[in-house]
Amino acid sequence: MTQNFDWDRDPQRLGTYALMSGENPDLELFANDGRKIILFHGWADANNTPYTNTHYYERVVRVMGGLAETQKFARLFMFPGMYHWDGGYGVNLADLLGALDAWVENGTAPDMITAYSVEGQGVGPISAPASFTGANAATFNPKFSRPIFPYPDSYRYSGGDQTSAASFKRVRGTMERSSAASKGRSRGLKEPTALRAARRSHPRESV
């Protein structure tokens, strides 16, 4: 199908793929419904390049009117040294569910999440031990911790205990691909024609 597929003429040939795809950057319905989402990825993921997530997030920023508007409902956290969802040589454990719960229930947007390096097969943000809350991280014997800030921000060592997140300060970053187009909607940037056509037919299911 891909050999003779025309993205402008043949969106109907995608069938349900267009509705199930996670590549649609237009999250207007999602945001207007008051929903929140935390995305994450390991910078050391060798299965799926972490740039799939950073590039997607930057497209969302362009389409949704800039970083500030996007961060009202969607934030991306990149874990240094983490493999595919878990493990790795960096930090691999954080209470993302607790952060999301505080955002949804209390309106406290996650501006920094403390992540820990914990040994163990399959230990990661979505496979954290049931008893892990972040507050009790010391009981899991972490090797070190780091502050993880919403993309595109990162951190830099500022002195002190190198195993402690408190020894690292925030470094403001810029969007790799979208800093020059922070007002995506006003500049007419749109989602791919095929996905846009599918969303018109199924406006609620495509988000």
105-135 confidence digits (pLDDT tens): 999 999 999 999 998 766 777 777 778 888 8
Q: What pLDDT is recorded for position 14?
A: 66
The answer to whether the beta carbons of residues 166 and 160 sit under 8 Å apart is: yes
Q: Please measure the distance between the N-terminal and C-terminal CA atoms of the chain and give it in whole angstroms.
A: 25
Q: What pLDDT is recorded for position 33?
A: 95
Listed residue (71, 52, 63) closest to 152, CA to CA: 71
SS3 116: strand
What letter would DSSP give residue 204? T
* 44 Rama class: left (phi>0) / alpha (psi -120 to 50) / beta: alpha
Strands (E) across the chain are located at: 37-42, 74-79, 113-116, 145-148, 154-157, 168-171
The residue to which tokens 């002190």 are assigned:
160
Q: What pLDDT is recorded for position 19?
A: 56
Q: What pLDDT is recorded for position 177?
A: 53
The answer to whether the beta carbons of residues 20 and 199 sit under 8 Å apart is: no
Q: What pLDDT is recorded for position 11?
A: 66
Q: What pLDDT is recorded for position 185?
A: 41
Q: Which residues, in sequence order, are CB contacts of 39 under 8 Å at separation 6+?
A: 53, 57, 74, 75, 76, 77
Q: What pLDDT is recorded for position 24?
A: 86
Distance, in Å, from the CA atom of 174 to the CA atom of 196, rounded to the nearest integer, reads: 28
Distance, in Å, from the CA atom of 95 to the CA atom of 126, rounded to the nearest integer, reads: 9
Counting every residue written for the chain, the total comes to 207
Report the b/e string of 92-103 with b at 16+ CB within 10 A.
bbbbbebbeeeb
The C-alpha angle 42, 35, 97, rounded to 5 degrees, equals 45
Q: What pLDDT is recorded for position 193?
A: 43
> How confident is the model over 7-16, as pLDDT tens digits?
677 767 766 6
Distance, in Å, from the CA atom of 11 to the CA atom of 2, rounded to the nearest integer, reads: 12
Tens of pLDDT along the chain (207 residues) come to 456 777 677 767 766 665 556 788 999 999 999 999 999 999 999 988 999 999 999 999 999 999 999 999 999 999 999 998 888 899 999 999 999 999 999 999 999 999 999 987 667 777 777 788 888 989 889 999 999 999 999 999 999 999 999 999 999 999 865 444 334 443 344 444 443 443 443 333 332
Q: What pLDDT is recorded for position 206?
A: 31
SS3 115: strand
Q: What pLDDT is recorded for position 7?
A: 67
